[in-house]
Structure 1
């Protein structure tokens, strides 16, 4: 897969996606949105990719939509054209959340607007001490309802804090992001990618089918009642018990060794 606005590399089962406009803190253009939508959809079919690391080149993670190349041009659009754009941006988040592979965001700097949403749509957020977040849609006269923010953000930080973040659009630093649960870990800038890849390798060595099921049910169970959720988990766990990884986990425990997951048989 080749892209003009992204750097895409795969090494030993881990795909690295780097937003690549460092001079503008990786501001998004129409092309970037289109390529992210396509990439996040295509990754579901890339058998060599087990885990994804998402980050930005240079000092920023992603400063959001480009003021001139996005916002300026959107002011010239009407109706259906505007909806096609907002639907495309939402498809990026949909594809990220529906991807049954873990996504680790390595947030190296500012994550604002759509950039904050790319981090939020990831499964884990490893954050540099220099990182900052801002859900600043209301700052430009838009609703806080952008790219699934009002669906995802309250689930992670709670409805009260989410309301504050999207009403005011204020910038929060890495430590505050960690305090409210938005960041999983905060590390020194020079340790960021090492930590992100360390977690990616741990995930890659884990039971990948079971991790995919876990992500799928995290998405689904928030929308259903307890009984339905319990039935989903009973069926999913029964499927996992038929997989080779379950037998390997048992053998590894009995033999007092680390499990070797993702083999094809139970022998």
Structure 2
């Protein structure tokens, strides 16, 4: 039995976020799975300055959550996210000076960095329109479930901007290949759901009315697994992009040794010996 965590240490490194009171989207958590719903369906769920900032802060805090072990991101209604709100973001950006424009672009990029840095697997459940920053959020998620009617588009060049937004030029080629990513980022064309699955952008497709349930079921499956080890897998998948093979092998040796020191590893062995299914607890 491990010793109890010192209360002073826990105060700065352990948070309960299942009951988080979201202001600019919906948040619901049950049995370790949180569902984050972008909730402006009449406008196809666009993002605002406020929702960007709240997403950034929430994903930073998730690094310390004790009661959320997987996150599903979805959109209300029949669409995922249409990107930045044309009237509340795009319009004001036209008149901002360069330092404030950089403040905005850094904030949006920090959403992706925080999403990638949190230990929870993040699953995007994508239906309908998934454009601009919405496509980025889906791209940055660890797993993506889509529908045949979904339309994913990296629209930045359509508004006179480069495709290199919020990490797209780094992340997208790793998902679907350099040539295919180049096509999407240069043209801004929509990627249909079936094509997105063939290209590897979506892990699989679901019927629209079953999409959220399937994403949540996948999240629950991950939560029943060794959540500390899952977080380590996510960390290494991200960090090893910038490593050589020898560095990666050493980093994985260190990560795996940490996992071998967990009670979950011991539980798995004892369950195997007893011919039972292990019950993981994330410690």
* TM-score of the pair, normalised by structure 2: 0.91
| 1:263 CA drift (Å) | 5.9
Alignment of 1:1-267 (within 5 A): 1-262=20-281, 264=283
* Paired residues of 2:83 and 2:132 also in contact (CA < 8 A): yes
Question: 1:134-191: CA deviations, max 9, x gaps?
Answer: 0110111100010110111011101111111100010011101100100001011111
- The DSSP-based 3-state class of the residue aligned with 2:72 is strand
For 1:45, what is the secondary structure of its paired residue?
A: coil
Aligned equivalents of 1:205, 1:101: Cα separation in 2: 13
Quick one: distance in 2 between partners of 1:60 and 1:164?
23
1:39-70 deviations in Å (ceiling 9; x for gaps): 11122222111111110111110001111111
| CA apart distance, 1:31 | 1.3
Structure 2 unaligned blocks of 5 or more? 1-19
Determine helix, strand or coil for the equivalent of 1:111: strand
Count of residue correspondences: 264
Following superposition, the deviation at residue 13 of structure 1 comes to 1.0
Deviations 1:82-115 (A, max 9, x none): 0000000000000000001111111122110000
> What does residue 3 of structure 2 align with?
none
TM-score under structure 1 normalisation? Answer: 0.96
Tell me how far apart the structure 2 counterparts of residues 104 and 68 of structure 1 sit (CA, whole Å).
29
Aligned to 1:117, the other structure's residue is in SS state: helix
Mapped to 2, the partners of 1:252 and 1:197 lie a distance apart of 26
On the 8 A contact 1:5/1:21 being kept in 2, the answer is no
Superposed CA RMSD in Å reads 1.1
